[in-house]
Chain A
Amino acid sequence: MIEFRDVSKTYPDGTHAVRDFSLQIPARQITVLVGSSGSGKTTLMRMINRMVDPSSGSIEIDGQDISQVEPVKLRRGIGYVMQNSGLLPHRKVVDNIATVPRLTGVPKEQARTRALELMDTVGLDRALADRYPSQLSGGQQQRVGVARGLAVDPNILLMDEPFSAVDPIVRDELQQEVLRLQSELAKTIVFVSHDIDEAFLLGDQVVVLAQGGQIVQQGTPEQILANPANDFVATFIGADRGKRRLSVSPATSRGDDRVLVDAGGYPVGVISAPEGRLAVADAGPKSRSVSNKTDQAGDA
């Protein structure tokens, strides 16, 4: 568990990036910090691996105050995946993944073997191992970034808008990949995003942030969708525009199945109804993917 206690960050020029922020991030779940620019979400994430030190307050990981942990040692135990992959352009894919284990003294062959296994884990062909990052597509680079983040088998994985620079189709794939990995690996994942749909899709817990790291609402995606705490949240999740209101389209439905459309008239899914009877709704996490598909209709 990661716990923020009354954390503030003020920069020398007087900017308050974060004010009196307190939050518990449960272990082995995905917590998404979501907010627009200036909400301090990236600052908060970078405090967890001490890339930023708070001006006041404290952060604990499993009860230990991280200000007492040497930053380099702390960072080596926390996976970090960032926007634009942050890969080292002069190292081959396999060496990029093996970077941190090599820094901590794992023998070369062992680190390489582990890196190749991780390429399998994140769905990268091993044939790419000896390429340089610039020879990969954006989506492949992000997969390498994820593999590197997992290389030391960390308990905590920080993901800083990792998919915001890839195209929507690849982003969908990568998001599903994160959910698949998480179901296998069960890490404590802190995910920063400005995309509420991504937050709802991935988050077990979603924390909506306003300026200065102010928590406007936190809860499961269902709780937030069902009861937006205030107008800010309602606007942010697009509820005010009825963006998420779904209806059955009479025009496009064929046979017994019903096509579901959103407020903009875009098809978002099909309700399967064999012989005119609706199938029993699956209340599992997969049902969230319906809300995700609306991002083609809206602009949130």
Chain B
Amino acid sequence: MNWVWIGSNLGLIGGRILEHLALTAPPIVIGLVLSIPLGYAASRSSVARSVLLSVGGILYTIPSIALLVLVPVTLGLAILDPFNLVFALSIYAVAIMVRSAADAFASVPKDVVSSATSTGYSGWQRFFGVELPLAIPVLLAGIRVVSVSTVSLASVGALIGIDQLGSFFTDAFQRSFLTEAIVGIVAILLLAALYDVLLARIGHALTPWTHQQSAQTAVLRLASAPVGGDS
């Protein structure tokens, strides 16, 4: 390890971490947002499910290098435009996330949905008020996988000249300089961990009903207090 190099390049490392963040946050958000309607459609119809999941599977098998070359050609963008990387990563994010989203909506109990309908929820109210919130735990599990995979996949952008943490790997390879590679790996791991913690926190805040004391404890507490329930 060449600590001197690290010490004198803190600015570069910090800058690349920020670039890496800027390149990975949009695909994660886009992956989530797009997968929600697609996953919902997949959970409603078995035809939609098999079509969407197959397409997702196929998209995910496209080699990343090939996709990075194809995207600018198809979209007519400059080869060095960072948007190419964002676009490619978004495709992978959606490809993974559609399955999770389909499972998430399928995990919402049917009797709860039917109960909401019978009490007078309209379609949209039911979606935003019942189905989406109840899908959050499974959606969250999916998006945590997507965030880790996106952070690691983004490093291939270095091969098409888009600067981020992956550039440390190409550099390290060209200069046979191991320290840079280690710095890149550690920074990517830290970034992935940061996303994971952040998403877990958001998920926790959004699903207060999943981490209350159990019914058992509640009943025991009630039993010791003079209340008029029938526990």
Chain A residues in contact with chain B, CB under 8 A?
46, 49, 51, 72-73, 75-76, 80, 82, 84, 86-91, 99-100, 103-104, 123-125, 127-128, 131-132, 134-137, 139-140, 143, 148, 170, 173
- The answer, among B119, B209, B227, B230, for a CB contact under 8 Å with A100, is B119
B127: Cβ under 8 A from any A Cβ: no
B105: shortest Cβ distance to chain A, in Å? 14
A-B contact pairs, 6 of them (CB 8 A): A51-B117, A84-B111, A86-B118, A90-B207, A125-B227, A136-B218
Would A140 and B118 be within 8 Å (CB), given that A86-B111, A86-B112, A103-B125 are in contact? no
Chain B residue with the shortest CB-CB distance to A84: B111
Cα separation A91 to B117 with both chains bound (whole Å): 16
Given contacts A51-B118, A124-B228, 8 further A-B pairs with CB under 8 A are A46-B118, A49-B118, A72-B121, A82-B115, A86-B114, A90-B133, A104-B120, A148-B119
Check A135 against B213 for contact (C-beta < 8 Å): yes
CB of B230 within 8 A of CB of A140, answer yes
Closest CB pairs A-B (n = 5): A86-B115, A76-B120, A135-B218, A75-B120, A125-B227
Contacts of A173 in B (CB 8 A): 230
Chain A residues near B119 (CB-CB < 8 A): 75-76, 80, 86, 99-100, 148
- Cβ-closest chain B residue relative to A49: B118
B111 contacts across to A, CB distance below 8 A: 82, 84, 86
B118-A75 in contact (CB<8A):
yes
B120 CB → nearest A CB, Å: 4
Which chain B residues border A148 with CB–CB below 8 Å?
Answer: 119
B212 at the interface (CB under 8 A from A): yes
What's the Cα separation between A131 and B209 when bound, in Å? 9
Docked pose: A86 CA to B213 CA in angstroms: 21
* Minimal beta-carbon separation of B33 from chain A (angstroms): 21
Known: A90-B133, A134-B209, A140-B230. A100 touches B215 (CB 8 A): no
Contacts of B121 in A (CB 8 A): 72, 103
* B116: A residues at CB distance < 8 A: 88
Contacts of B112 in A (CB 8 A): 86-89
Query: In the complex, are the beta carbons of B231 and A72 less than 8 A apart?
Result: no
Per-position contact with A for B193-231: 1 when CB-CB < 8 Å, else 0? 000000000000001110011110011000001011111
By a CB distance below 8 angstroms, the chain A residues around B230 are: 123, 137, 139-140, 143, 170, 173
Identify which of A88, A103, A127, A170 contacts B120 (C-beta below 8 A): A103
The answer to whether B130 touches A128 (Cβ under 8 A) is: no
CB contact under 8 A between A82 and B118, given known A90-B133, A132-B209: yes
Asked whether any CB of chain A lies closer than 8 Å to the CB of B122, the reply is yes
Closest B residue to A91 by beta carbon equals B209
B221: nearest residue on chain A (CB-CB)? Answer: A135
Q: Please determine whether A137 and B231 come into contact, CB atoms closer than 8 angstroms.
A: yes
B214 / chain A contacts, CB cutoff of 8 Å: 134-135
Q: Residues of A contacting B207 with CB < 8 Å? A: 90
Q: How far is the CA of A89 from the CA of B129 in the complex (A)?
A: 12
Contact, CB under 8 Å: B228 / A100? no
B residues 63-84 near A (Cβ < 8 Å) are: none
